[in-house]
Amino acid sequence: MSSQSVNAALLSMEKAEKHFHGVHALKGVSIELRRGTVHAICGENGAGKSTLMKILMGVYTADSGSMRMKGQPVHFLSPRQALDAGIAIIEQELTPIPDMTVAENIFLGREPMLFGIFVNYAELNRQAREVLGRIKITLNPTRKMKTLSVAELQLVEIAKALSYNSEVLIMDEPTSALGEKETDVLFEIIASLKAQGKGIFYISHRMKEIFRIADVVTILRDGEYICTRPASELDTDSLVSLMISRKLEGQYVKENVPSDIPMLTVRGLARKKSHQPISLELRKGEILGIYGLVGAGRSEFLESLFGVARADGGEILVNGGPVTIRRPYDAIKNGLAFVTEDRKGSGLALILSVKDNTSLTSIRKFNKNPFINRRRESRDVKMAIDFFGIKTPSERQLVRNLSGGNQQKVVLGRWLLSNPGILLMDEPTRGIDVGAKREIYKFMSDFAGQGNGIILVSSELPEIMGMSDRILVFKNRALCGEVRRPDASEELLMRMAT
Ligand SMILES: Nc1ncnc2c1ncn2[C@@H]1O[C@H](COP(=O)(O)OP(=O)(O)OP(=O)(O)O)[C@@H](O)[C@H]1O
Ligand SMILES: [Mg+2]
């Protein structure tokens, strides 16, 4: 190797500028990735992290700026070119092709062939099994993507990125749908990639992860480059204050005390394929947490409860009266709302504008009197935008153009406008930055304080412990225990869940 290529950064970007219609997403950002390092990019929702990574990956072209790989100028016009040059990405927003199998998705465009014309499926599936094995998941490669859970989709995406054996790996929120166990496996892989001299850009809103694996941290704020520091010189407080200008103190904890009046009673609700019979009671003013590992049946239970999937036994009572929930419409009619973990699949119609999205579920409410309600709709949408600090140039912006975290806020705003009494939340702060998380926690606390109830499914222990009055633990698709808030500790919950 020449001395130049030894000293040169693996990948570097000089003064990247990027405008989208009405948004100055990157304002002259420079960054340098060294071999054998995990380089974290931190910043609030909408800071420009994904945009910067998409420029490196050839998804977007920068308005100006220059890029080098191992000292040589490069200019990628498509992700294909970046891949060929040795850069792979795990994207924040997953884009599976629903009708393809896991193996077809992983090797899309580079399937092993027979006689140059037929796809060699046996070989394809064998290779897919091998790549999946690297991240220690036993997922049948012939399964259709549309049958996978969000966590499984994310794992497939990781396997796919790894299968290119690239020198540079970009990971944009790779763990947002993963639990502790899968995250540990990913971190082992990252350690071994590092040891092989590869470079990794890592984006996450989970501070704990940044301090566990990052060597270097670059901070962006509002599209601007703030600084780059060794991770060892930072702690959570200093990092957060570099990311956001306002001050945050400590962890947010739910404020009010629940009553003992039952709001929602579930008796033996079962769905053979996905979970055992489950019984629980949610009280007025309560946040009931559900903790468990990925695949423990938590999301499936919420789906049965909301009528997304048909339960095959059990009773549901709302405010003491029995109700029948066969589809989401029945649930909404009975005052339930469901913030799903999969914002793309079920939470958001990505093509619609922020305004259409926030008012979608409350459309019937608005339709009663078209004249007044048009105005009221506008007012309510503005309220949701303000309330959650949704960063959008206008309420007419298409949702798919918002940053990942801001899309999640649109999902929340949309349900907030439907005036529910009972809120089911599945990983509600997925991809949400530290500042906005607090706003959501505050909202949850106030919402419960007004005599409503929340069931919160979360894989983040600090979140579940700070926000829940009681915590139910799921294991192997069944309810396996209950912990009251004063008795909860990370160790206890982890032990019960595994
Ligand atoms: N295709 C697009 N069209 C219009 N605006 C866009 C587009 N992509 C991103 N933006 C805007 O650029 C800004 C930066 O977005 P980006 O996705 O890079 O943020 P981020 O730092 O990744 O945030 P998050 O933590 O929420 O993922 C945001 O204001 C976003 O709305
Ligand atoms: Mg992003």
Share of the chain above pLDDT 90, in %: 49
Closest of 238, 239, 222, 234 to residue 29, by C-alpha = 222
What pLDDT shows up at residue 308?
85
- Mutating to test ligand 1, I would choose from 403, 412, 437 the residue with most ligand atoms within 8 A of its C-beta, which is 403
394 pLDDT more than 90? no
State if residue 93 touches ligand 1 by the CB under 6 angstroms criterion: no
Tens digits of residue pLDDT in 452-468: 999 999 988 888 999 99
**16 vs 344, more confident:** 16
For ligand 1, what atom is nearest to the CA of residue 406? 26
Lowest-confidence segment of 136-140, 169-173, 395-399, 436-440 by average pLDDT: 395-399
* Ligand with the closest atom to the CA of 221: 1
State if residue 391 touches ligand 1 by the CB under 6 angstroms criterion: yes
- The overall average pLDDT reported for the chain is 85
> How far does the centroid of ligand 2 lie from the alpha carbon of residue 450, in Å?
33
324 pLDDT more than 70? yes
Q: Contact 361/418 with Cβ under 8 angstroms? A: yes
What pLDDT shows up at residue 373?
53
> How far does the centroid of ligand 1 lie from the alpha carbon of residue 1, in Å?
39
Interatomic CA distance for residues 74 and 156, integer angstroms: 29
Where residue 432 falls (left for φ over 0; alpha for ψ -120 to 50; beta otherwise) is beta
DSSP conformational letter for 250:
S
What pLDDT shows up at residue 367?
40
Tens digits of residue pLDDT in 288-300: 999 998 778 898 9
What pLDDT shows up at residue 369?
43
Tens digits of residue pLDDT in 153-211: 888 989 999 999 899 999 999 988 887 888 888 999 999 999 999 999 999 988 889 99
What pLDDT shows up at residue 256?
83
Tens digits of residue pLDDT in 88-140: 999 887 777 888 999 999 998 888 888 878 889 999 999 999 999 888 888 89
* Ligand with the closest atom to the CA of 25: 1
What pLDDT shows up at residue 232?
96
Share of the chain above pLDDT 70, in %: 87
> How far does the centroid of ligand 2 lie from the alpha carbon of residue 245, in Å?
19
- Mutating to test ligand 1, I would choose from 390, 402, 410, 437 the residue with most ligand atoms within 8 A of its C-beta, which is 402
* Ligand with the closest atom to the CA of 433: 1
Domains and CATH numbers, the chain: 3-96+148-243 (3.40.50.300), 262-497 (3.40.50.300)
Sign of the CA dihedral running 457, 459, 464, 469: positive
- Mutating to test ligand 1, I would choose from 13, 19, 20 the residue with most ligand atoms within 8 A of its C-beta, which is 20
What pLDDT shows up at residue 377?
59
What pLDDT shows up at residue 29?
97
- H or E stretch covering 426: strand 422-426
260 pLDDT more than 80? yes
Provide the pLDDT confidence category of residue 1 given band limits of 50, 70 and 90. Answer: very low
State if residue 20 touches ligand 1 by the CB under 6 angstroms criterion: yes
DSSP conformational letter for 260:
S
What pLDDT shows up at residue 235?
92
What pLDDT shows up at residue 372?
43
What pLDDT shows up at residue 344?
53
Provide the pLDDT confidence category of residue 80 given band limits of 50, 70 and 90. Answer: very high
5 pLDDT more than 80? no
365 pLDDT more than 60? no
* Ligand with the closest atom to the CA of 406: 1
> How far does the centroid of ligand 2 lie from the alpha carbon of residue 390, in Å?
14
pTM for the full predicted model: 0.78
